[in-house]
Amino acid sequence: MDNPGLPPALWAALDKRLWHATGVRALQGILGDGEIRVLADRYNNSLCKTLGAVSLMDFGPTCVDVPYQFNNWAGWFGCQQGCRVAVWLEIDRNAVVTNLVDAGTARCLWRQNLSRKIIPGVEACHRGAIPIGAILLALLIDRYNHEAFQQHPMAGDAIGALLARFEEELPPPPLENPFFKAIRAANKRRIPRGEAPPGGE
């Protein structure tokens, strides 16, 4: 798979490897639990959730760049997690191969059941939890500037301090586009279905 549009240095770090994309808060849970668990309260219609599996990004030999899918998985550089720093954890493929449904196999399973959600081409699934010992390193990526990233070995709780330092050293986030800011504000003011507007019936 060729670089789909990322900064070359970031793609070089990701390419040919297996990843779990997460955020700061979820990383704390992973460190506390000692494993990456299947999400209990999100993505109920996803293929991975149906398999009782952890969702992964697989840039190994069976991945393909399916047209129009890059925007879906590029959202995992901070937007989906709702945080300034995205945390991508590299998973040791050899350590999890027994329970791994790689990107190619997952794509075939999805074609048999198109009602399930998946990012075809790059999403893989790991049946059951992934032990923290299978995590090789953490890749910290700035949500707003993907050229700003750091790689750190998973060395116990030290990764939390490294993440905090990385975020502190980042410049302020860019100003929000006024048009999108207005849309977001309007959505917050939207009246819940079934309720009458103020002064109305």
The residue segments making up the domain with residue 46 are 8-171
- Residue 39: inside a domain, yes or no? yes
- Residue 81: inside a domain, yes or no? yes
Supply the pLDDT for residue 136. Answer: 96
**Six token digits for residue 100:** 């791994």
- Residue 184: inside a domain, yes or no? no
Q: Which of 128, 126, 66, 137 is nearest to 97 (CA)?
A: 126
Q: How would you label 103-112 residue by residue, b for 16+ Cβ within 10 Å and e otherwise?
A: bbebbebbee
**Six token digits for residue 16:** 């040919």
| Number of domain units in the chain | 1
For residues 152 and 159, the answer to whether their CB atoms sit within 8 Å is yes
* Chain segment 146-173, per-residue pLDDT in tens: 999 999 988 666 888 899 999 999 999 8
- Residue 107: inside a domain, yes or no? yes
Supply the pLDDT for residue 160. Answer: 85
Helix, strand, or coil (residue 158)? helix
Q: pLDDT (tens digit, 0 to 9) for every residue of the chain, 201 residues total?
A: 999 999 999 999 999 999 999 998 889 899 999 999 997 777 778 999 999 999 999 999 999 988 888 888 888 898 888 889 999 999 999 999 999 999 999 999 999 988 888 999 999 999 999 999 999 999 999 999 999 999 998 866 688 889 999 999 999 988 765 555 566 666 666 544 444 433 433
What span, in angstroms and rounded, lies between the C-alpha atoms of 115 and 108?
13
CATH of residue 96? 3.90.210
Residues 6+ apart with CB under 8 A from 144: 78, 84, 173, 174
Supply the pLDDT for residue 45. Answer: 82
Supply the pLDDT for residue 194. Answer: 47
Supply the pLDDT for residue 80. Answer: 83
